[in-house]
Amino acid sequence: MCRRNTSGGTILEPVSVDKPASDSSDEVLAARAVAGDASAFETIVERYQGRVFRLACRLTSETDAPDILQETFLQVHRHLPSFRGESQFGTWLYRIATNAALMHRRASARRPSEPLDHFLPRFDERGRHAATPAELQVVSRADELLDRQFLAGKARDVIARMPDIYRDAFVLRDLEEMSTADVARALDIEPAAVRQRVHRARLMLRGYLSDLVGVKS
Amino acid sequence: MKEVACISGVELLMDYLEGVLPPDLRAALEAHVAGCERCAAFVASYRETPRILRDATASTLPDDIEASLKAFVQRFLKDSRPR
């Protein structure tokens, strides 16, 4: 189906496969789509549409997500012949979706963002956490303590209000669970910068959750 | 061994969890958290924050958007077919 080239990448070759498209690997589907098999490409779309939609919602908004979804699969189809298997197909497609979302956001009117620094942890004069262990611990149960719909709305809202540099790193690393190395490549920054941004986002969002459950920590 | 306080320990957390903290700082942080109830509670909540927000923002693709994407894809596949 796929042949490894000498540099370690995969050369996709059109092949005839008897298995139904839905059972095939991404790489086989990609090869069939390149060869002009429309149903193979439609299977790729079905396989990834939910994840791309979710990513687009998190990086932009539910209003913008449908456009990003279409743009992503248009770009995937356009660039499929150049996919060489140097990364996993899903990673490659995700990178295209991330770019589509970031490009879309840049082209849109600038949304207001907030520093959210007031949600960072507080310390006393000796450098100890100002909050008690019970107050610090309660955030871990925020999803048990808060109404699900209320939490969903607040979570989407606060992520949308974060400065872009923190939002992008947090969404890709922590919500989409990409590796730090993949996030660094997608955002064109160093892995250390990804860690620094994700860390600050986690601190702010942790403090925000704490505030939501009624504790200042 | 280096001394870590709550305030400096918080700044090391991400690197600690990613496994990129130098061994001496790693040991110092672990020693501090083991003896600090506040930091133990803070670390637990810091680790849970991504999961809570991941679950809370897990949107599902609505049927109408899925249908319109399908129509869009079929249209461009048809248009890109060699004539």
Instruction: Provide the β-strand partners of residue A12.
Output: A2
Pick from A131, A134, A210, A137: which is nearest to B6 by CA? A131
Taking CB atoms and an 8 Å cut-off, how many pairs form between chains A and B?
140
Regarding whether A126 and A58 lie in a shared domain, the answer is no
Regarding whether A170 and A121 lie in a shared domain, the answer is yes
Q: What is the pLDDT of residue A87?
A: 84
A133 and B40 within 8 Å at the Cβ level: the answer is: yes
Regarding whether A85 and A40 lie in a shared domain, the answer is yes
Q: How far is A36 from chain B (nearest CA, A)?
A: 7
Regarding whether A91 and A151 lie in a shared domain, the answer is no
**A205 near B CB under 8 A:** yes
Tell me the chain B residues in contact with residue A131 when contact means C-beta distances shorter than 8 Å. 38
The architecture (CATH level 2) of B6-80 comes to Orthogonal Bundle (1.10)
CA distance B33 to B51: 22
Closest Cβ–Cβ partner in A53, A77, A133 for B41? A133
Regarding whether A183 and A142 lie in a shared domain, the answer is yes
Q: What is the pLDDT of residue A111?
A: 73
Regarding whether A204 and A136 lie in a shared domain, the answer is yes
Domain range enclosing A158: 117-212
Helix axes A65-79, A38-59, angle to 10 degrees: 140
- Contact criterion met (CB below 8 Å) for B44 and A137: yes
Amino acid identity, position A128:
R
Is A217 domain-assigned? no
Closest Cβ–Cβ partner in B52, B59, B80 for A62? B59
Tell me the chain A residues in contact with residue B70 when contact means C-beta distances shorter than 8 Å. 42, 45
Extract the residue ranges of chain A whose pLDDT is less than 50. Answer: 1-17
Q: What is the pLDDT of residue A14?
A: 38
Mean pLDDT confidence for B23-50: 96
Out of A75, A107, A139, pick the residue that ends a domain: A107
CATH number at residue A183: 1.10.10
| Predicted complex ipTM | 0.91
Q: What is the pLDDT of residue A115?
A: 83
> What count of Cα atoms within 13 Å lies in the side-chain half-sphere of residue B66?
14
Q: What is the pLDDT of residue A4?
A: 39
Tell me the chain A residues in contact with residue B13 when contact means C-beta distances shorter than 8 Å. 199
Q: What is the pLDDT of residue A16?
A: 45
**C-beta neighbour count of B74 within 10 angstroms:** 14
Pick from A132, A156, A124: which is nearest to A210 by CA? A132
Regarding whether A137 and A51 lie in a shared domain, the answer is no
Q: What is the pLDDT of residue B83?
A: 58
Out of A54, A75, A107, pick the residue that ends a domain: A107
Regarding whether A136 and A77 lie in a shared domain, the answer is no
Out of A62, A84, A107, pick the residue that ends a domain: A107
Is A160 domain-assigned? yes
Tell me the chain B residues in contact with residue A134 when contact means C-beta distances shorter than 8 Å. 41
Portion 30-89 of A in contact with B at CB < 8 A: 36, 38, 41-42, 45, 49-50, 53-54, 57-58, 62, 65-66, 69-70, 73-74, 77
Total domains, chain A: 2
- Contact criterion met (CB below 8 Å) for A195 and B18: yes
Regarding whether A122 and A85 lie in a shared domain, the answer is no
- Contact criterion met (CB below 8 Å) for A128 and A122: no
Q: What is the pLDDT of residue A108?
A: 84
Regarding whether A163 and A97 lie in a shared domain, the answer is no
CATH number at residue A11: 1.10.1740.10
Share of chain B above pLDDT 70, in %: 96
Closest Cβ–Cβ partner in B8, B50, B82 for A174? B50
Amino acid identity, position A24:
S
Regarding whether A9 and A103 lie in a shared domain, the answer is yes
Regarding whether A134 and A86 lie in a shared domain, the answer is no
